[in-house]
Amino acid sequence: MQGRGATAIGALRVVLRNRSLRRALLAFLLFNTQEYAVWIAVAVYAFQQGGAAEAGTVLVLQLVPAAIMAPIGSVFADRIPRARALVLGYGIQTLANLVLGICLVLAPAPMAYAAAVVAASAITLTRPAHNAILPSLADTPGELTASNAASSTMDGVGTLIGPLAGAILMQLSGPGGVVLAMAGVSALAAIAALGIHQHRAEELHPEDHVSTFVSQAVGGLMEARAESDVATLLGVGGVQFVMVGMLDVFFALLAIDVLGSGESGAGVLAGGFGLGLLIGAMGAVGLVGVRRLAPSVFVALLGSGISLAGLAFASTMTVAVGVLALCGATIGLFAVASRTLLQRSADEVVLARVFGLEEALQMVGLAVGAAAAPLLVSVFGAQGALLAAGGLLALAASAAWPRLRRIDETTAGPGPEFDVVRRVSIFALLAPHVQEQLASHLVAVRVDAGKVVIAEGEAGDRFYVVQEGRVSITKAGVRVAELGPGDYFGEIALLRDVPRTATVTALEDIELLTLEREAFLAAVTGSVPSHSRANDEIDRRLADGGP
């Protein structure tokens, strides 16, 4: 445990020393601050116009278009460099907030609501791009996990200071003044994002150059259909946000009907939940260096269900705040662990679109939760609704556990195989999470001395790395080279789509790590720098008569 803690602290220090990561996290903090402040300002404005019913209607009207927009807007973060997509997203939010603020001050309510819908949809441009850019800014898997923990911390801090800043500004200038001020905060986020420099080149997958915008917009959905791991993680994330949507209703329910603390008590309960989110996100840095994250996802999901059910037995405000803080902490832990697993599981080419789909599911989950909570209360009563909601979430966690465990079997974090992948020159330029994916697909094979591993002229189906022992390379019966531990072969037939160019024979008992054709090609051809380096290696080897 002490070694893991040192690893976590070290990774977090590296994150803070990384200039581009610092700027990305600062911009994300500013983004979250303005997001929550604007959300509350619009709710207050709608309440002033038509009471609780109108406020609720306007909030739902913002969520639905935003859920539709999220997968569409995320395409840009896969079509253009993600650093540029971030700046563009923050810039659009600045303009949208500026228009919304003016409408709240000067325009009639319908026009203000239309501007609020546009501003809420603009919000969805940022989070997918931010989550997708982190793997290309981090230098190691541990640094990526620490970056995710820091991002969730920024989210938690924004949850706290955004509403606080909004409340202060509300007293001075009303909802319109809040939103106009937040337009300035969005502009600062755009300025911070301008300083982000990616040290790994991002290139489109060749198919993206010819596919239509519409077909690319469903890229995240197609990835979820093709990869059950991605679908599972998106599914449990959506379920989690249904619960968060219910909490928005339960805060008022607990404060007014159960604890009798009045409307102000709802704000106290929400504050306890927000503090828990922050604690959970900060504590999630302890996941750095943990290879298997599925148990953390399961425990966090189960814990949030149990804590939600536990609210039914909270008899005082102090106990309720404590339970909600625990609930928030489990959700903070869940966010970091599930996001890191999603970055490990999803194809880099469509990563932003996968996060765009996640954003859409979050919006839908919030809306479903907000709509379902009153129904549960009407059927089961206040305490019964809390027990039912918590029990359903715990059941969802139990049902998802077998699939989550399988994800760990295929996407476990860095181990010995990961070190092997990093030492292979044609993989060295890949992002750490792509290297992790490759490492999870490696299969160990033993070959006895004198046996032929691949034969000249046969079809190529695998890539090989020598782990122990030595092999000889012969062409037309003439020995041309000898390879040992750390060397690799087999890439020529795969990348050039030609028969094997040489024969490889074990000179002694050897151990090889093998990679199937599909996994190898997806990784190498999906990265222009790696593909270029591989082609240079192939040209050199062909000149030497390599395999």
Do 213 and 352 belong to one domain?
no
- Please indicate, yes or no, if residue 145 is contained in any of the structural domains: no
Q: Which helix (H) or strand (E) holds 514?
A: strand 510-516
pLDDT band at residue 208 using 50, 70 and 90 as cut-offs: very low
Residue 186 pLDDT: 94
Instruction: List helix spans (H) across 107-140.
Output: 109-123, 126-137
- Please indicate, yes or no, if residue 188 is contained in any of the structural domains: yes
Residue 63 pLDDT: 79
Do 321 and 457 belong to one domain?
no
Residue 79 pLDDT: 76
Residue 284 pLDDT: 76
135-139, 324-328, 392-396: the lowest-pLDDT one: 135-139
Do 375 and 260 belong to one domain?
yes
Do 434 and 403 belong to one domain?
no
Do 186 and 222 belong to one domain?
no
Partners of 452 in beta bridges? 505
Residue 289 pLDDT: 61
Q: What is the mean pLDDT of residues 209-224?
A: 50
Q: Which of 185, 200, 217 is the last residue of a domain?
A: 217
| Summary mean pLDDT of the chain | 80
Do 250 and 305 belong to one domain?
yes
Give the 3-state DSSP-derived string for 336-352, with helices as H, strands as E and coil as C. Answer: HHHHHHHHHHCCHHHHH
- Is-contact 220 214, C-beta < 8 A? no
Domain count, the chain: 3
- Please indicate, yes or no, if residue 149 is contained in any of the structural domains: no
Residue 521 pLDDT: 78
Is the pLDDT confidence value at 338 over 90? no
Nearest-angstrom CA–CA distance, 150 and 24:
10
- Is-contact 501 544, C-beta < 8 A? no
Residue 47 pLDDT: 74
Residue 50 pLDDT: 78
Is the pLDDT confidence value at 385 over 70? yes
| Dihedral of the alpha carbons of 324, 328, 334, 337, in degrees to the nearest 10 | -140
Q: What is the mean pLDDT of residues 492-512?
A: 88
- Is-contact 112 176, C-beta < 8 A? no
Q: pLDDT above 70 covers what percent of the chain?
A: 82
- Please indicate, yes or no, if residue 294 is contained in any of the structural domains: yes
319-333, 502-516, 518-532: the lowest-pLDDT one: 518-532
Do 172 and 222 belong to one domain?
no
Q: Exposed (0-12), middle (13-18) or buried (19+): which is 476, by Cβ within 10 Å?
A: exposed
Do 445 and 477 belong to one domain?
yes
Do 421 and 528 belong to one domain?
yes
- Is-contact 60 190, C-beta < 8 A? no
> Phi/psi of residue 452, each to 5°?
-85, 125
Do 226 and 269 belong to one domain?
yes
Partners of 510 in beta bridges? 447
pLDDT band at residue 98 using 50, 70 and 90 as cut-offs: very high
pLDDT band at residue 202 using 50, 70 and 90 as cut-offs: very low
Nearest-angstrom CA–CA distance, 182 and 83:
22
pLDDT band at residue 209 using 50, 70 and 90 as cut-offs: very low
Residue 286 pLDDT: 72
SS3 316: coil
Residue 263 pLDDT: 58
- Is-contact 193 23, C-beta < 8 A? yes
CA neighbor of 155 nearest in space, from 335, 4, 327, 419: 335
Q: What is the mean pLDDT of residues 440-469?
A: 88
- Please indicate, yes or no, if residue 527 is contained in any of the structural domains: yes
- Please indicate, yes or no, if residue 156 is contained in any of the structural domains: no
135-139, 217-221, 266-270: the lowest-pLDDT one: 217-221
What does the pLDDT look like over 31-44, one tens digit per residue? 988 988 888 788 77
Partners of 445 in beta bridges? 512
Q: Exposed (0-12), middle (13-18) or buried (19+): which is 80, by Cβ within 10 Å?
A: middle
The residue segments making up the domain with residue 26 are: 19-138+162-217
- Please indicate, yes or no, if residue 9 is contained in any of the structural domains: no
**414 token code pair:** 């860095």
Nearest-angstrom CA–CA distance, 96 and 230:
32
Sign, CA torsion 4/140/154/291: negative
- Please indicate, yes or no, if residue 151 is contained in any of the structural domains: no
Residue 158 pLDDT: 82
Nearest-angstrom CA–CA distance, 224 and 232:
8
Is the pLDDT confidence value at 218 over 60? no
Looking up residue 351, the CATH number of its domain turns out to be 1.20.1250.20
Packing angle, helices 416-423 and 432-441, rounded to 10: 120
List CB contacts of 245: < 8 A, sequence separation 6 or more.
365, 366, 367, 368, 369, 370, 371, 372, 373
- Is-contact 115 98, C-beta < 8 A? no
The secondary structure of residue 460, as a DSSP letter, is P
Do 271 and 387 belong to one domain?
yes
Residue 469 pLDDT: 92
Q: Which of 409, 440, 458 is the last residue of a domain?
A: 409
Residue 534 pLDDT: 67
Sign, CA torsion 220/224/227/229: positive
CA neighbor of 456 nearest in space, from 540, 521, 545: 545
Nearest-angstrom CA–CA distance, 139 and 280:
24
Looking up residue 535, the CATH number of its domain turns out to be 2.60.120.10
Q: Which helix (H) or strand (E) holds 330?
A: helix 317-345
pLDDT band at residue 264 using 50, 70 and 90 as cut-offs: low
Nearest-angstrom CA–CA distance, 323 and 232:
27
Nearest-angstrom CA–CA distance, 108 and 233:
42
Q: Which of 171, 197, 217 is the last residue of a domain?
A: 217
HSE, CB side, 13 Å, CA atoms: give it for residue 146: 26
168-172, 207-211, 431-435, 522-526: the lowest-pLDDT one: 207-211
Return contacts of 526-529, CB within 8 angstroms, 24+ apart: 526/205, 526/347, 526/348, 526/349, 526/434, 527/200, 527/201, 527/203, 527/348, 527/429, 527/430, 527/431, 527/434, 528/201, 528/203, 529/200, 529/201, 529/429
What does the pLDDT look like over 474-489, one tens digit per residue? 888 888 888 998 888 8
Nearest-angstrom CA–CA distance, 283 and 459:
50
Do 250 and 205 belong to one domain?
no
SS3 202: coil
